[in-house]
Structure 1
Amino acid sequence: MRHRRQLLFGLYFDPLSMDEVIEQCRNALVTRSRVLLGVLNAAKIVNLRGDEALRNSLMECDLLLADGQSVVWASRLLGRPLPERVAGIDIFERLLGLAHRENRSIYLLGAKPEVLAALQLRLAQAYPGLRIAGSHHGYFKAAESAEVAEDIRQSGADMLFLGMTSPKKEIFLGAHGASLDVPILHGVGGSFDILAGLTQRAPDHWQRSGFEWAYRVMQEPRRLWWRYARTNTIFLALTLAELLRPARAFKRSRASAVMQPAE
């Protein structure tokens, strides 16, 4: 990579704009080389400290990007600036457009079967002729993960999108990504639900202001308020600690990432 990566919170981030990310993905499709995308927000930065498998899988990524606006702000405060927020769902939509324009095929992995069906219907409407090489719901057992990985490999897909929660998607990619023979691999979390029309994303002005998380809390206050209160507070403390004494880069442990059972 020609750009200089930025060490933040123990991980090396790629200081790329959205356009630069998509261009690297386009080049990977031409050369049939792998780009494993990883995106980090404040919550994931907090959680990876106590989750070795998640941490290891993130270190396997070819591009590690700031999904959260708070991570971008922290990078500037720390003097190691990232150019902009590169949200996972926005990458997803840009790559869908690329696949549609250039006749590339995709594989969809994750969510419940009915959500997956709704998503495929919406994609067929939004991108007529989009090639969906295969799909599989995300509620498979750990013992079935190798079989799912083989189905992806046999599909010949150019892009794999994983609509699975963290750390499940990172662990699956960490365990099987190298064997899938898919150039673009991207874990998109809850984006399947949004693009399927089942949940609503925050309006643009909430996203730009860095308060997309608050919009989510308003939608599900009982479930989410404590989670965000905890992770946001810890993230502020980590940023202060990073300002006083920058963290050293994490080292990958010898223990390999293993696929956890899907819920």
Structure 2
Amino acid sequence: MAAESKHRTRWLRRRAWTAAALCCAAATAPAEDAVFFFNPESSIDSYATLKTAFDTYLAPLGPYVFQPFNVRATFEQALAQNSRGVYMLSGWHYGEIKGRQSLDAVLVGVSKGAFLQRKILSAKDVADVSALKGVTVAGTGSEDYLRTLLKQTLGPERHALVDSFKVLSVPKDIDALMAVSFGMAQAAISSEASLQKLAAINPKQHSQLKPLAQSEKAFLLIATVPRSFRQEGAPLVEILEDMDKKPEGVTNLKLLGLDGWKRVETLEAPYSTQLRAP
């Protein structure tokens, strides 16, 4: 128990330090020719390492920098203030904001040949979904988004059950899963990839979680550009698209949980239409 308490303290301290550091970084984020990144579904161990790796990769290729965020509000503030750059965000996040931002999706992330993934609702010491009444469910995103996702995942007959949930919004998917392990929540909704990562880094905690339901498939990471920057930003988009052709590019893609990118216009019509902004 003492060891678990120690791990929990370290986890909470690390979350607080990282959030503070990234908020400070956001205040001085470059305004032009940047790749902005926010994806709570990712399981990134060090944003500083991620930034250094991408800055090093981009530097010889042009006046480009990489700016990661772990706070949604600061990412969206950068988007509102800068009409240049490439913005990487999760499929669900793009779906939420595409109607109110002049963004064009240009690339879709690919992992193990797939560009779609599911969200999994998992719990500890729970036999089935009906036993979840009134529990705390952890996940990434706003409370409205999480409740909508849970209702879509569990179906119309379970809407009253979802209304009974208390929602704990956390920065990353892996935090949601850890919240269950530490007793801060009884269930978590997370990506398949995050569950797989937990299995790799902590098999014991993973074995304590039981999958109860899964969502429809959604897009992985999406690279977007402001519509007014699309033509001028084409060289930067091409640099990102070609990352899988260089060993160091492949290494950086893996930091994002990807193997490569697909052009949106090369997707089958139902998918490309889904990504098209109004």
Give the TM interval when normalised to the shorter protein.
under 0.3
Query: What TM-score do you get using the length of structure 2 for normalisation?
Result: 0.26
Query: What TM-score do you get using the length of structure 1 for normalisation?
Result: 0.28
